[in-house]
Chain A
Amino acid sequence: VMAVVHTVLTGYTVRPFWLMEVLQVTILGLVAAGATAVVFTRNPTRQVIFLSIYGMLLAILFMAFQAPDVTLSELTVGAVILPLLLLLVLAKVSGQKVSGQEVSGQQVSGQQVRGQGE
């Protein structure tokens, strides 16, 4: 593992502009942390918020790796539209009746969506 890490790091130091490399390594770490946070969040609503933040991190990652087109796509789809649609779906699902009974405390109003499982 250390050998692989070393190869990656020496690969980075080929170019003189090391500040960019620091940013890239940092954002790679943040993306890994963000993905883990999304996976380990149990409450769906909170998970959607983490997913949105994760989308934002990915967008910054693409920017740091000089892909502005992909950055725009990720920003609009990953950070905005996907979380928005998921929130709407959560709101719809949590307002539904389950076997004739209203799910208690899951009523939804406007943007105040309460997650299930809390």
Chain B
Amino acid sequence: MTPRQRRWVFLAVAGAFLAFYLWGLVGLPGFGDYPGPYGDIVNAIAVAQTHATGVVSAVNFEYRGFDTLGEEFILFIAATGVATALRHLREEQDDPAVDAAKDRQAPATSDAIRMVTLAFTGPTLVVGWYLASHAQTSPSGGFQGGVVLATAFVLVYLAGQFLAFKRLSPIHFTDSVEAIAAGSFAAVGVAALGLGAAYLANVLPLGSSPGAVNSSGTIALISFFVGVEVAAAFVLIVGELLEQTLIIREGAR
């Protein structure tokens, strides 16, 4: 096929796609138009029913808590997969890292980076903890909080403190924390069964005032477990990759 013919084929197909696309656009509902009943129903009943003012969390950890359980285990399995793929095999041996350009000096972590990252580590931990533990009151939740918590560990690494990063998150410990937190989510559901309710039913006291931190029963609890699980999963993945990749900089402690 000559380039000329090819261009015609492309133009014809592109034109057909464009026509379909525009046709689809015309049939779209208006901007901001919401036809479904579920959002309206949840908005009307969720706060009274769950005492969680973070209605998205109420949906995530209660109304569709079972789906969230599945999603959580997706991340769990992904982390397990990374850990498995990057593990040391019995016949594998560590080569000492050889620098291809031996005369090149990797610059030591500058004081500016070290200071900024270390200064942000504490606040990041607090924000992560806040997000993971306030799903019931405001837009936040275990997933977001957990990722922010993991970021705090990465900041420790960025500050040039790789060994501190490893000390803070030994692989077996992180692994166990991740597994226990993931299992705890499932266990909350099983506990409800033991009390004669449905799986993942909200069996804990809801608290007197909606929007208080101690309100919403299992929603807050599950969000917290998810936060720990997500944080551990990401610390594990990042740690495994760093271990594989890293040439520890000179001057790093």
A contact set with B: CB distance below 8 Å: 1, 4, 8, 11-12, 68-69, 71-73, 75-77, 80-81, 84-85, 88-89, 91-92, 95, 102, 104-112
User: Shortest beta-carbon distance, A12 to chain B, in Å?
Assistant: 7
- Bound complex: CA of A68 vs CA of B148, how far in Å? 16
Which residues of chain B in 4-45 are interfacial with respect to chain A, using CB atoms and an 8 Å cutoff? 22, 25-26, 30-32
CB pair B242 A76 closer than 8 Å: no
A85 and B241 contact, Cβ closer than 8 Å, known pairs A11-B31, A69-B141, A76-B144 = yes
CB pair B241 A92 closer than 8 Å: yes
Give 17 A-B contacts (CB < 8 Å), ordered by A residue.
A12-B31, A68-B139, A71-B139, A72-B131, A76-B144, A76-B148, A76-B151, A84-B238, A85-B241, A88-B242, A89-B241, A92-B241, A109-B106, A109-B247, A110-B106, A110-B160, A110-B252
B99 proximity list for chain A (CB < 8 A)? 107
Q: Which residue of B lies closest to A65 (CB)?
A: B32
A109 proximity list for chain B (CB < 8 A)? 106, 247, 249
CB pair A81 B245 closer than 8 Å: no
Which residues of chain B in 96-142 are interfacial with respect to chain A, using CB atoms and an 8 Å cutoff? 99-101, 104, 106-107, 109, 131, 139-141
CB pair A81 B106 closer than 8 Å: no
CB pair B106 A112 closer than 8 Å: yes
B246 proximity list for chain A (CB < 8 A)? 91, 110
B213 at the interface (CB under 8 A from A): no
B101 proximity list for chain A (CB < 8 A)? 105, 107
B147 at the interface (CB under 8 A from A): yes
CB pair A4 B22 closer than 8 Å: yes
B contact set with A: CB distance below 8 Å: 22, 25-26, 30-32, 54, 56-57, 99-101, 104, 106-107, 109, 131, 139-141, 143-144, 147-148, 150-151, 154, 158, 160, 234, 237-238, 241-242, 244-247, 249, 252
A81 and B100 contact, Cβ closer than 8 Å, known pairs A1-B22, A108-B247 = no
A4 and B25 contact, Cβ closer than 8 Å, known pairs A76-B147, A85-B237, A110-B247 = yes
- Bound complex: CA of A84 vs CA of B237, how far in Å? 11
8 nearest A-B residue pairs (beta carbon): A68-B139, A76-B147, A109-B106, A11-B31, A88-B241, A72-B144, A69-B56, A92-B245
A104 proximity list for chain B (CB < 8 A)? 100
6 other contacts beyond A72-B139, A72-B140, with CB at 8 A cut-off? A69-B140, A76-B148, A81-B151, A104-B100, A105-B101, A110-B109
- Bound complex: CA of A89 vs CA of B241, how far in Å? 7
A80 and B147 contact, Cβ closer than 8 Å, known pairs A69-B141, A85-B238 = yes
User: Shortest beta-carbon distance, B222 to chain A, in Å?
Assistant: 15
A91 proximity list for chain B (CB < 8 A)? 245-246
Contact of A108 among B22, B140, B245 (CB under 8 A): B245
Q: Which residue of B lies closest to A111 (CB)?
A: B158
CB pair B245 A80 closer than 8 Å: no
CB pair A81 B247 closer than 8 Å: no
- Bound complex: CA of A4 vs CA of B28, how far in Å? 10
- Bound complex: CA of A35 vs CA of B139, how far in Å? 26
- Bound complex: CA of A16 vs CA of B104, how far in Å? 61
Q: Which residue of B lies closest to A74 (CB)?
A: B144
Q: Which residue, A92, A104, A106, A110, has most C-beta atoms of chain B within 10 A?
A: A110
CB pair A88 B106 closer than 8 Å: no
Q: Which residue of A lies closest to B109 (CB)?
A: A110
- Bound complex: CA of A72 vs CA of B54, how far in Å? 13
